[in-house]
């Protein structure tokens, strides 16, 4: 089963890196990693702990009212009835472990990783167990793509490129009768439906000053009318609906498990800009070229590091792009990380290209 492959992948990582175990805690879906690793049927309402030692079977500690939800977990089921029973069972489950990895980030340096509340961290430490971050372990075990997901991502990206060009063409065709940011967003959403794509929100269609707001989303009332001389930004993201190739991949990527979380498509995400007019003003072209140059510098850095077998952390790629823009005199205006991971959500749980908002060491 898929979750067994996740367990094996996690154990391989722990053995390679000297980690004694991984403790995944969840309470009412507070930790999105838990349902990616442990399949449950229906609503789970009490604290749950999955413990996976570097060797041996996975063990799952759940409240008796939820025990029936985990028949397919692939783990040895341990059941508690009250708080004292939970603490005692947790202590026995962790006996012999000097250290466990949890979804925790020291000083909340990586908020996307830091999912476990402080009280639960205190509880585990009170049992004589050191808590370290699971950031790299979690990424290795749960966030790598299958071949089916990679192909689905590429298909989605190709469709997004097609749709964004159609959106710009739509603007040109509708200029005479009047077209708003919201009209263009609705056009894109209709095209998503026609191409069997879905997105939880968006897209962003932003004119002029609105394009400086990374999370601007036009509404039916109050969105700007597109006029000649406008600068238009379109940020769109989507994934395939029920992609069968993602559900049942033929084989994993090298060193990648077939994970429970892979039973679904992954997103593609692109951002394009355009100028409404016959020729792009020199100032617009200058800024565009600087942004593209920073992107290309970061990509070249990643490619060259890969060719040389050099491990790169997310913050380092961000630094390359940021340095390029700073050298051009616009560093103070680069107020966003370079990039984010993509997964089953448009913002995934894996490494971000970020040395600005956080210091991503994954």
| pLDDT for 244 beyond 70 | no
Check whether the bond before 203 is cis (ω within 30° of 0).
Answer: yes
Q: How far is CA 103 from CA 30, 49, 130, 247, 315, in A?
A: 11, 12, 13, 26, 20
Query: pLDDT for 46-96, tens place per residue?
Result: 999 999 999 999 999 999 999 999 988 889 999 999 999 999 999 999 998
Residue 21, both tokens: 């175990």
Q: Regarding the domain with residue range 2-142, which homologous superfamily does it belong to in the CATH classification?
A: Creatinase/prolidase N-terminal domain (3.40.350.10)
CB 129 within 8 A of CB 99: yes
- Tokens 């708080």 correspond to 83
Would you place residue 4 in the very low, low, confident or very high pLDDT band (cuts 50, 70, 90)?
confident
Task: Report the greatest alpha carbon distance in the chain.
Answer: 74
Using DSSP's 3-state secondary structure scheme, residue 23 falls into strand
Q: What angle do CA 102, 103, 106 make, to 5 degrees?
A: 90
236 - beta bridge partners? 270
Q: Quick check: 3 pLDDT over 90?
A: no
The pLDDT, as a whole number, for residue 256 is: 39
Task: Name the token pair of 113.
Answer: 């990783």
pLDDT digits (tens, 9 = 90+) for 247-301: 433 334 434 333 333 348 999 999 999 999 999 999 999 999 999 999 999 999 9
Q: Which pLDDT belongs to residue 248?
A: 37
Average pLDDT, the chain: 92
Burial category of 274 from C-beta neighbours within 10 Å (exposed 0-12, middle 13-18, buried 19 and up): middle
Alpha-carbon dihedral sign for residues 174, 180, 183, 189: positive
Instruction: Tell me 252's DSSP state.
Output: P
Q: Average pLDDT, stretch 291-320?
A: 98
Q: What pLDDT score does 195 carry?
A: 97
CATH (residue range 145-252+264-279): 3.90.230.10
Model pLDDT for residues 342-360, shown as the tens digit of each residue: 999 999 999 999 999 999 9
Instruction: Convert the pLDDT of each residue in 86-143 to its tens digit.
Output: 999 999 999 989 999 999 999 999 999 999 999 999 999 999 999 999 999 999 999 9
**Nearest to 46, CA basis, from 27, 33, 21:** 27
For helices 314-327 and 282-307, give the axis angle rounded to 10 degrees.
Answer: 150
Q: What is the structure's pLDDT at 287?
A: 96
Closest by Cα among 345, 143, 341 to 238: 345
The pLDDT value recorded for residue 36 is 86
Least confident range of 30-34, 71-75, 110-114, 210-214: 71-75
Question: Which residues have a Cβ under 8 Å from the Cβ of 305 and sit 6 or more positions away?
Answer: 311, 312
Cβ atoms of residues 235 and 271 within 8 Å: yes
> Structural domain boundaries of the chain?
2-142, 145-252+264-279, 281-362
Block residue for tokens 């702990």: 49
Residue 144: Cβ-neighbour burial (10 angstroms; 0-12, 13-18, 19+): buried
Residue 2, pLDDT score:
57
The whole-number pLDDT of residue 43 equals: 86
- Would you state the structure tokens that stand for residue 203, as one six-digit string? 């897209």
Is the pLDDT at 317 greater than 70, yes or no?
yes
Backbone angles phi, psi at 319, to 5 degrees: -60, -40
Least confident window among 1-10, 190-199, 212-221, 309-318 = 1-10
Q: How confident is the model over 164-193, as pLDDT tens digits?
A: 999 999 999 999 999 999 999 999 999 999
> Which DSSP string corresponds to 41-98?
-S---S-EEEEEESSS--EEEEETTTGGGGTTS-SEEEEE-SHHHHHHHHHHHTTT-S
Q: How far apart are CA 61 and CA 31, in angstroms?
A: 15
């Amino acid at each position: 089963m898929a979750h067994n492959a996740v367990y094996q992948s996690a154990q391989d990582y722990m053995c390679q890196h000297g980690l004694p175990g991984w403790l995944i805690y969840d309470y009412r879906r507070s930790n999105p990693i838990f349902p990616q690793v442990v399949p449950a049927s229906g609503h789970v309402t009490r604290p749950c702990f999955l413990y996976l030692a570097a060797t041996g079977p996975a063990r799952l500690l759940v409240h008796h009212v939820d025990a029936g939800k985990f028949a397919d977990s692939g783990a040895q089921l341990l059941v508690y009835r009250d708080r004292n029973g939970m603490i005692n069972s947790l202590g026995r489950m962790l006996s012999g472990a000097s250290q466990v990895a949890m979804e925790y980030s020291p000083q909340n340096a990586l908020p996307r990783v830091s999912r476990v509340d402080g009280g639960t961290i205190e509880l585990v430490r009170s049992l004589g167990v050191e808590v370290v971050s699971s950031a790299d372990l979690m990424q290795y075990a749960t966030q790598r793509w299958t071949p089916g997901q990679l192909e689905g991502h590429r298909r989605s990206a190709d469709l997004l490129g097609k749709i964004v060009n159609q959106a710009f063409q739509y603007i040109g065709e509708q200029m005479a009768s009047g077209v708003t940011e919201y009209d263009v967003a609705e056009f894109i959403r209709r095209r998503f439906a026609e191409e069997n794509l879905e997105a939880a929100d968006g897209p962003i269609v932003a004119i002029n000053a609105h394009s400086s707001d990374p999370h601007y989303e036009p509404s039916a009332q109050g969105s700007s009318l597109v006029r000649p001389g406008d600068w238009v930004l379109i940020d769109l993201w989507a994934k395939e609906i029920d992609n069968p190739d993602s559900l049942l991949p033929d084989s994993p990527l090298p060193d990648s498990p077939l994970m429970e979380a892979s039973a679904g498509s992954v997103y593609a995400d692109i951002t394009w800009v355009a100028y409404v007019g016959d020729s792009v003003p020199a100032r617009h072209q200058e800024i565009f070229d600087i942004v593209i140059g920073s992107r290309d510098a970061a990509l070249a850095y990643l490619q060259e590091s890969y060719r040389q077998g050099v491990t790169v952390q997310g913050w380092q790629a961000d630094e390359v792009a940021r340095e390029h823009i700073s050298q051009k005199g616009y560093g103070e205006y680069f107020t966003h990380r370079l990039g984010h991971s993509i997964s089953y959500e448009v913002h995934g749980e894996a490494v971000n290209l970020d040395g600005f908002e956080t210091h991503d060491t994954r």
